[in-house]
Amino acid sequence: MRVAIFGTGYVGLVTGTCFAEMGNVVACIDIDAEKIARLQRGECPIYEPGLPELLSDNLQQGRLRFTADCREGLADAEAAFICVGTPMGEDGRADLRFVEAAARDIGRTMTAPLLVVTKSTVPVGTAERVLGWVREELARRGVELAVEVASNPEFLKEGSAVEDFMKPDRVVVGVASSRAAALLHELYAPFIRNGLRFYTMDIRSAEMTKYAANGMLATKISFINEIANICELVGADVRQVRLGVGADSRIGLQFLHPGVGYGGSCFPKDVRALIRTAEEHGYRPRLLTAVDQVNREQVCSVQRKLRAWCELHERRLAELTVAVWGLAFKPNTDDVREAPALGLVRDLVAAGAAVRAYDPKAMHEARRALGELPRVVYCQDMYEATEGADVLCLMTEWRPFRRPDFRRLAGQLMARTIFDGRNQYDEARCREYGLTVYPIGVPSPLSRAATRAPS
C-alpha cells in the first residue's frame, strides 16, 4: 500500500518506518527542510532504540522516502496519516494549528480519492474538523474528490516505540465506513496476525480512547505518589506497600512507581486537554483535576526535600553544588518535554545553587530547553557530574545510574547525600559506604517538612 505520513516527530517517524518495514511504500512529509535533508541522508533526528537501523534499511530499499513537497508525498497515496504535534495551549486546550495546516495541505494537493487518518492525539470531534478543512481547500480549487476521515490513535511509549508498533497491545480505529475499516485492517494485518487486537469503533469513541488511556495511566502514577506522601508521614514504606497492592491481579504493578511525577509530551498535555474538554461540555472532572494537581506538586518533591535538608543541617541552598543525574523525562529517550529534572535545575539556579548535570542521551535537548543558565555545567559522564558536588539528585532511572560505584560516590560527594527521586537505591547498602539516601515515600527526618498535601 502507498501511504503518506505528515510529520516526522516521534509518532510520524516510527509510524512511517514501521509501515515501510512491512513492505508498504511510505512518503514522510515535513515542512522542516533541514530535518528532511538529514532524514534523506539516513540520519535519525531523535533517540529511539531500534529506529535508526530500520530507517536506514528501508531508505536504502526504496520503501521509505522523505520530502517537504506535499504534492510529491501524496502522489498515488491511498491513505494519509496526520502525525503532527498538538502542543498544549495556555488555556489547557490542545493546539490544533499543525493539524489544520496538514489537513489544508492535503486539500490543496491531493489528486485522487484519499483516506485521511488522524494519528495525532486530538480532542473528540477533531476528525470532523479535519474533513471540513480538507473539503474547504478542495472547494477553493473547484475540485471534487472523494475524501474520508478516520481516527487511529497511537499508544507508543517513548523508549520502546518501535517494539510497541511492531507488536501492539491493540490497534484502535475509528471509522465512518466499511471501506475505511477494510483499508486500515489491511494496512495493520501484518502487525496483528491473530486479529484479536484490532478494534473498530466510531470516530469519536476512538478519539476518546486515547485520552481515557492516558488519563488512566496518569491516575495510577498520581495515586501511588499520593500514597507515597502519606507513607512518609505515617511511618510506612511505599516500596513495600506497592508490592502488596500490586499483587492484586485487578491492580497490578505497572505504573505504580512512586517518584518525582510524570512528564513527557503526552500525560501532562493530555490530562489537561481532557479536563478542558469536559469543562467545555459543562462537566467538572474532579478526579482528573486532582490527578493533575497531585503531579504538579510531586514534580517538586526533590526540591522540597533539598530545602528541608538545608534547614536540618543549617545550610543555604545557594551555597550548594548539586549533581543531577538524568534530564530526560524517562529513560531510553532524549525527550525533555515537561521533564521534572528541568524544573529542578531551574529552581536550583533561581535559588543561587550551582548545578552539574549529566544525561546519557538528552544533553543536547536539555541545553536547548534550558537555554544559557548561569552556574550550570553539562558534564561528559556521570562521575564528572558528582566530582566536587555536595549532593546528588537522581531524576531519571537510566540503567547506568541504577547500580553506581557507591564507594566512588562517597569519595566525591562533599555531604555524602543522595536524593533518590526514582527509588533506585537501597539505604542500608549505601550506609555501608557512608552515604545517606532520601527516597520518595520512605520516612526520614525530612518527611514532615518536605511532604505537603496538594492545595
Q: Which residues are catalytic?
A: 266
- 172 and 209 Cβ atoms separated by less than 8 Å: yes
Measure the CA–CA gap between 198 and 445, rounded to whole angstroms.
Answer: 52
Measure the CA–CA gap between 119 and 131, rounded to whole angstroms.
Answer: 14
If one counts every other C-beta atom within 10 angstroms of the C-beta of residue 177, the result is 11
CA proximity to 56, closest of 17, 29, 24: 17
Identify any residues that bridge with 324 across adjacent strands, giving them in sequence order. 357, 393
- 64 and 58 Cβ atoms separated by less than 8 Å: yes
Measure the CA–CA gap between 334 and 364, rounded to whole angstroms.
Answer: 8
Q: In the structure grid, which three cell numbers stand for residue 352, read together?
A: 543561587
Q: In the structure grid, which three cell numbers stand for residue 378, read together?
A: 553539562
- 25 and 3 Cβ atoms separated by less than 8 Å: yes
Give the residue ranges of DSSP H helices in 387-446.
399-402, 406-412, 427-431
Q: How far is CA 267 from CA 211, 221, 407, in A?
A: 9, 10, 37
If one counts every other C-beta atom within 10 angstroms of the C-beta of residue 283, the result is 10
One-letter amino acid of 411: G
Measure the CA–CA gap between 188 and 67, rounded to whole angstroms.
Answer: 24
Measure the CA–CA gap between 361 and 61, rounded to whole angstroms.
Answer: 29
Q: In the structure grid, which three cell numbers stand for residue 222, read together?
A: 498520581
Query: Measured on CA atoms in the order 283, 256, 87, 197, is the torsion positive or negative?
Result: negative
- Dihedral Cα 297, 300, 304, 305, nearest 10 deg: 120
Angle at 392 between CA 388 and CA 393, to 5 degrees: 150
Measure the CA–CA gap between 339 and 49, rounded to whole angstroms.
Answer: 20
- Dihedral Cα 325, 326, 332, 335, nearest 10 deg: -160
